[in-house]
Amino acid sequence: MAMSLNTNLLSFLMPCAGAAFQVDITAYGTLGTIYNTASYFATPIFGAIADSRGRRTAVVLSVVIMGVAGGGAATSQSWLALCLWMGLMGVGLGGVMVPFDLLSEIAPPKQRGAVLNLTNWFWCAGSILVLVAAWFSVGSLAPGFPPSSWEPWRVLVLMVVTPVLFALVLTPALVESPHWLVEQGRCDEAMAVLEKIARLNCRPPISGDAGLGDSLLSARLSARPSAGLRDSLLDLVADDGADADVGAGAGGVTARLDPGAVRLSRLSQGVSMSARANHERAAATPAERAARLCLKPLGLGGAVDILAEPALRQRALTHWLLWLIAGFGWAGTVYFQTFILGNNGSASDDAGDAGSGPTNASSAFACDFDYTAQLPVLASELPGTLLVQLVVDSPRGPFGLWGGRRGVQICAFTVLATSSATMALGVGVIGSTAVTVLAALSRFSLAAGNSAMWIAAPEMYPTRVRGLGANTAFLFNVMGCIPASNWVYSGLPGWLIGAVIAAANLSVAVIASFLPETAGIGFDEDH
């Protein structure tokens, strides 16, 4: 939700705070550029923290920074101070991928897509919340609502940062990732986390009976489970809920696994993956070992692991390219739609003859939006998210295009490109009703495509580098966002602005076709 809140906030804050500080309209994009640039540099740091210090530590740090920055932004006394505080907000946003990694490592593989997509409902809620907050602060419902001594845009910032502060209060309830704990050799803590999750969900104890839990935990703590026991456990991964027999391994363990023990069997993969990773590191070339030695103090040694393995390197580079272009397409779509549906945008009667883009109009007029038109557009994210909820775990149709992670991305971004390009023609060409309908279709497709893209991100990487790999993808996403605000407020014709944004979204659909389908995979064994 934090990224949804902040990005949608920027689409209102850039023109409204810019008007309040009387800066030129062409400088509005500076606020978004500073925000995204700060997030760009902070993202790999949070990924390294997540892999070296834990997912929970990175999440808490991220939320604290965003809370402090939000309060500072609301009290800024100059445009420069506001830019600096929003830059700090961008630093906090650098950790936005980590909670997604954490949830993905707790969710069962067969239902992981549906579980992760639940977070996208909060994304939709964030978009609508910002619109309502803007309506009550800088919009037509504002008169008489904020105290007269408060500037409306400050009220908007305070209203939007409130959910972030609420998240800060809830951070003590976060658990650490069992996968990460196993990777660090802290198997007793991983067991404790699983026991806690089982109790909260009213499930049977993880440890099981007949002494199996002790034998299994002992094997995990030693970080060297017998081949027979490990192979038997891996055979059970395909069925979470069934009881099963474990044949006698080295040590003579023979018992019946309860569902809790079957769930624990997933963690046995972490040890074998750690052993494999250690073997690969030992066989690394001198250049790779030197690079890892230099990057390890920065927490970035995992970057060498990603780039040293050919299959993982190819997947990662393709994945990062997709997120780079998607960042520009996504931010550009959000910013441009907010403008084009504004009373000063190309969807208005005054400026709709050729879909012209933002111009150097008076700053006071720039903070003016058609909220009644934007509400149904933002609400269209809800059915887009619902569609993902229903199909993201089940690839179907020709080439798996009617479901799954990859299929949803290909279809959604293709529709997004088509609708956004047509919308950019403006009301003078296609009419105001058509512009609004196409904007809603664009937002529907944007929600669906981005939901599937985020769900697939942590599944592209093994546990040992998941934080860094997924956060690097987000880094490239932020890199793509950086020029988006300046592009939208460049003063160029609206049709040209929209065409470039549409081309970016179509490119995302094409690149997604080169990535593997990750629906239902178990972490690590498929990497």
- First-last CA distance in the chain: 29
Q: Which residues are registered as beta bridge partners of 246?
A: 255
Angle among Cα 392, 397, 399 to the nearest 5 degrees reads 90
Paired with 342 in beta bridges are 369
- Across the strands, what pairs with 255? 246
Element (H, E) at 255: strand 255-257
Q: Tell me how far apart the alpha carbons of residues 254 and 80 are, in angstroms, rounded to a whole number.
A: 68
Q: Write phi, then psi, for 369 (nearest 5 degrees).
A: -135, 150
| AA letter at 417 | A
Name the token pair of 518: 């990750």
**List of domains in the chain:** 1-174+303-347+367-514 (1.20.1250.20)
Give the span between the Cα atoms of 421 and 126, in whole angstroms: 25
Write down the pTM of the prediction: 0.67
Give the β-pairing of 255-257 and 244-246: antiparallel
Angle between helices 29-52 and 98-106 (to 10 degrees): 40
CA distance 81 to 35: 12
CB-based contact 104:520 (threshold 8 Å):
no
pLDDT at residue 490 in the model: 82
> Can you spell out the DSSP letters for 121-178?
HHHHHHHHHHHHHHHHHTSTT-TTSS-TTS-HHHHHHHHHHHHHHHHHHHGGG----H
Place of tokens 């504004």: 342
Q: Count the Cβ atoms, other than its own, within 10 Å of residue 291.
A: 18
pLDDT of residue 216: 38
Distance, in Å, from the CA atom of 491 to the CA atom of 125, rounded to the nearest integer, reads 31
Q: What is the b/e burial string over 230-269, where b = at least 16 CB atoms within 10 angstroms of the residue's CB? A: bebbbebbeeeeeebebeebeeebebebbbbbbbbbbbbb
Question: So what's the pLDDT on residue 141?
Answer: 57
The predicted structure's pLDDT at residue 353: 41
CA nearest to 432, candidates 348, 333, 335: 348
Task: List, for the chain, all residue ranges whose pLDDT scores fall below the cut of 70.
Answer: 139-149, 205-304, 342-366, 427, 523-527
Structure-block tokens of residue 308: 């040293």
For residue 357, give both structure tokens. 């883009």
* Contacts for 18-23: CB closer than 8 Å, 24+ residues apart: 18/79, 18/363, 18/366, 18/367, 19/363, 19/364, 19/366, 19/367, 20/151, 20/153, 20/367, 21/78, 21/79, 21/82, 22/363, 23/79, 23/363
Predicted pLDDT at 16 = 86
Q: Using the Cα atoms of residue 459, residue 463, residue 469 and residue 473 in order, give the sign of their dihedral.
A: positive
Distances in whole angstroms, Cα of residue 276 to Cα of each of 179, 218, 443 = 16, 21, 43
Which of 296, 404, 426 has the alpha carbon at shortest distance from 351?
426
What pLDDT is attached to residue 48? Answer: 83
Instruction: Tell me the pLDDT tens digit for each residue of 74-100.
Output: 999 999 999 999 999 999 988 888 887
